[in-house]
Amino acid sequence: MDGGIGDRHIGDISTPGRLAESGEGISLEELALATRNHGLPLEALRYDLTPAGLHYVLVHYDIPAADAATWELTVRGRVRTPLTLGMRTLTSYPAATQRVTMECAGNGRARLTPRPVSQPWLVEAVGTAEWTGVPLRTLLADAGVAADAVEAVFTGADHGVERGVEQDYQRSLPLPVATGGDPEVLVAYAMNGRPLPPQHGHPLRLVVPGWYGMAQVKWLRDISLTDSPFTGFQQAVAYRCRQSADDPGEPVTRIAPRALMIPPGFPDFMSRARVVRPGRVRLEGRAWSGHAPVTRVRMSTDGGRSWSEAELAAPDGHGWAWRRWQASWTATPGSHVLSVRAEDAEGHTQPLDQPWNRGGFANNLVQRISVLCLRDG
Amino acid sequence: MDGGIGDRHIGDISTPGRLAESGEGISLEELALATRNHGLPLEALRYDLTPAGLHYVLVHYDIPAADAATWELTVRGRVRTPLTLGMRTLTSYPAATQRVTMECAGNGRARLTPRPVSQPWLVEAVGTAEWTGVPLRTLLADAGVAADAVEAVFTGADHGVERGVEQDYQRSLPLPVATGGDPEVLVAYAMNGRPLPPQHGHPLRLVVPGWYGMAQVKWLRDISLTDSPFTGFQQAVAYRCRQSADDPGEPVTRIAPRALMIPPGFPDFMSRARVVRPGRVRLEGRAWSGHAPVTRVRMSTDGGRSWSEAELAAPDGHGWAWRRWQASWTATPGSHVLSVRAEDAEGHTQPLDQPWNRGGFANNLVQRISVLCLRDG
């Protein structure tokens, strides 16, 4: 795989991860990822359920050409009865629907110093949808889990090279997570009541409520139970929080709490800075955590020097989805920096200084929105 | 509007257009636009109709919170009978459906030297959809066009600041274009048979087949006929091809021809370079022009030194939409650069050297795809 071609190797086009130099602008390679993938335009925080084209999307390789009519999911490895399931069979199982907020593990990466060079998210790699599918534990019960199974490995149909390694996209879950009831992992075939769009895994994907996006394997074609932990690239090399290149690091799992605000007023096209008129401005947004329900949202209009409580909407029974919050602000002429900060029932909160690691993962630094309040009239 | 607030002016957050310095990386401001807006992932050229979430999107300001139930379109100015039309009335008119390829006027901007600092498109700001709505000429006939009307001015509900000017998004069309039959301009309320998604103008937008995206006013709320040419910002300042800041420039109108290729093989995550195995590789993609039907597509596998004919699909009756093309290539181990070049019935073609202007508009330089062919096995 890694042999030379004349003077050309796969390593020439697929280089190790690196950190941007001080003052180094975004590269054309990072821009190519930003142009393919996209975040949630923050005004779309207004929708309880994010329309498909506004939900964040990250695709590691290409969106596969997938045909639901011939798609097959295999369930194999440490099971009693291997299964091969077409879409007609899968949709005949009792279905479950869950409202889930998903966030990319790399959200916020492009604002880190130094900046890990990868998909350059600012702060908007999030979205909420209702996913419908078969509970994974139902399929595993049908296949019969062997006593020595410890993990389930999920393989997608997307194929590419990453940091020199040719691969299908693969991730695993510990068996207790894969068969758990809260969150209940879904093998999903519908998003907001319609077949999955191509970029969200058509025709089949995994949905792991509360976990970052890397766990939500798209274009799912195989589930294999193993008797030892999976050591594939996306598990053992990528998606680990490392402080240095030789640090084994901690795996990225559940979503750290975050609140985001719909930027008030109206924007400047180029700077995206916001403009408001003096007087009462309603501030609103969403807050979520993959650890436990969000219990508190605080808001600052002076760049984080002082904080006040925002009003959090009552729980709506969707424990794995964001909660709406709102607050009121009396804008006065001049420049302001607005921030918002979530806290969950386990006491996790958002740091005021950047939490840094070499991959730029699980960074939930508070949002900062620059607002210019004009004089009246 | 432009008065100081203490020491702060709207000019502090909304600066004049500029060109990037030599070697200047993409800025966080450009990245913020790239993260909100998005292109067509090039593998999605495989779909005749681009799914909504894969079609390119450019939003100048914010996506407005629009309610179809209360939306009203006004038709006024130099007409005999001003109209106020709700969605129920609009959908009761005889409907027309057109398949249209849309492209952003700034497509390709980020690869220009020097680079105009704005939405940093690489090459993928395109998409094709079937739009359904009321022909604009039907509405104008109902209102009765005054003898002295020369232009129709279209106003969207999106509001913001651009280069220091606070504005609703507004563009005009000459009356002969607005009332023409080929292309027939639509006031559209459906995309691919469903209500417009928020980012594509819900509930109402203009569709001007063959023109760049700036003409396709979204969140359309007013049509005013005028007895003199419109001189608003998006008409007289932006969207003009200027060679220097004081050049009045030519207006951006119809789409210049372009062919794009689905990148063959599979990608490296970070570099997006492509990998193939030796042997026959099917190449395919789409080609379009807003001037006249595409009549020829040529393909190069040696970086543009030699060209061969690609096979163009037969006309399918959708004159304002892209045409499929295909070709075969026998890949040999080593590095290759693939290019493709469209020509239309009026003889317009794609340049091999960048067509440059200060806005980075209507740049249809040929695509270049770097491919590494591995040794077998």
CA B123 – CA B109 distance, rounded (Å): 8
Segment B173-191 shows an average pLDDT of 97
Confidence of residue B3 (pLDDT cuts 50, 70, 90): very low
Tokens of A329: 């602000």
Q: What residues of B are in contact with residue A199 (Cβ under 8 Å)?
A: 41, 51, 53-54
Q: Nearest chain B Cα to A18, which residue?
A: B270
Report pLDDT digits (tens) over A215-263: 999 999 999 999 999 999 999 999 999 999 899 999 999 999 999 999 9
Contact B335, B375 (CB under 8 A): no
Q: What residues of B are in contact with residue A38 (Cβ under 8 Å)?
A: 35-38
Segment B155-183 shows an average pLDDT of 97
Tokens of A373: 């309040």
Q: Are A372 and B35 in contact (CB < 8 Å)?
A: no
SS3 A141: helix
Report pLDDT digits (tens) over A11-50: 889 999 999 999 999 999 999 999 999 999 999 999 999 9
- Asked whether residue B145 carries a pLDDT value surpassing 90, the answer given is yes
CA-based nearest residue to A197, from A219, A179, A213, A217:
A219
Segment B115-136 shows an average pLDDT of 98
Q: Looking at residue B66, what is its pLDDT?
A: 97
- Parallel, antiparallel, or unpaired for β A83-86 and A96-103? unpaired
Segment A51-78 shows an average pLDDT of 97
Q: Looking at residue B1, what is its pLDDT?
A: 37
Report pLDDT digits (tens) over A148-158: 999 999 999 99
Residues 151-170 of A with CB under 8 A from B: 159-163, 166
Q: Nearest chain B Cα to A336, which residue?
A: B8
Confidence of residue B374 (pLDDT cuts 50, 70, 90): very high
CA distance B83 to chain A (A): 29
- Asked whether residue A3 carries a pLDDT value surpassing 70, the answer given is no
- Asked whether residue A1 carries a pLDDT value surpassing 70, the answer given is no
Q: In this complex, which of B1, B62, B334 lies closest to A266 when CB atoms are compared? A: B62
Interface test with A, best of B10, B35, B167 (most A CBs within 10 A): B35
**ipTM for the whole predicted complex goes beyond 0.85:** yes
Q: In this complex, which of B25, B120, B266 lies closest to A61 when CB atoms are compared? A: B266
CA distance A62 to chain B (A): 7
CA B191 – CA B206 distance, rounded (Å): 12
- Total CB pairs under 8 A between chain A and B: 242
Q: Nearest chain B Cα to A14, which residue?
A: B268
Report pLDDT digits (tens) over A175-186: 999 999 999 999
Q: What residues of A are in contact with residue B5 (Cβ under 8 Å)?
A: 333-335, 372-375
Q: What residues of A are in contact with residue B167 (Cβ under 8 Å)?
A: none
The structure's pTM equals 0.96
- Asked whether residue A137 carries a pLDDT value surpassing 60, the answer given is yes
Residues 252-311 of A with CB under 8 A from B: 263, 266-273, 275
Q: Looking at residue B377, what is its pLDDT?
A: 59
Within 13 A of B42's CA, how many CA atoms are on the CB side? 26
Report pLDDT digits (tens) over A193-202: 999 999 999 9
Q: In this complex, which of B35, B57, B334 lies closest to A122 when CB atoms are compared? A: B35
CA distance A272 to chain B (A): 7
CA B123 – CA B103 distance, rounded (Å): 10
CA B284 – CA B249 distance, rounded (Å): 36
Q: Is B67 on the interface with A (CB under 8 A)?
A: no
Residues 182-211 of A with CB under 8 A from B: 197-200
CA distance B113 to chain A (A): 13
- Asked whether residue A7 carries a pLDDT value surpassing 80, the answer given is no
Alpha helices in B61-165 (DSSP H): 87-90, 136-143
CA distance B149 to chain A (A): 31
Mean pLDDT of chain B: 96
Q: How far is CA A64 from CA A168, A198, A277, B320, in A?
A: 11, 8, 48, 27
CA A164 – CA B374 distance, rounded (Å): 13
Q: Chain-centre distance of CA A159, in angstroms?
A: 20
Q: What is the percent of chain B with per-residue pLDDT over 90, rounded to a whole number?
A: 95
Contact B187, B216 (CB under 8 A): no
SS3 B151: strand
Q: In this complex, which of B57, B161, B199 lies closest to A269 when CB atoms are compared? A: B161
CA torsion through residues A356, A362, A365, A367, sign: positive
CA B170 – CA A209 distance, rounded (Å): 43
Q: Looking at residue B2, what is its pLDDT?
A: 38
- Asked whether residue B337 carries a pLDDT value surpassing 50, the answer given is yes
Q: Nearest chain A Cα to B20, which residue?
A: A25
Segment B347-374 shows an average pLDDT of 97
CA torsion through residues B344, B347, B352, B356, sign: negative
Segment B8-22 shows an average pLDDT of 90
- Asked whether residue A330 carries a pLDDT value surpassing 60, the answer given is yes
Q: Is B227 on the interface with A (CB under 8 A)?
A: no
- Asked whether residue B4 carries a pLDDT value surpassing 70, the answer given is no
Interface test with B, best of A36, A58, A122, A159 (most B CBs within 10 A): A36
Q: Are B5 and A374 in contact (CB < 8 Å)?
A: yes
Q: Looking at residue A377, what is its pLDDT?
A: 60
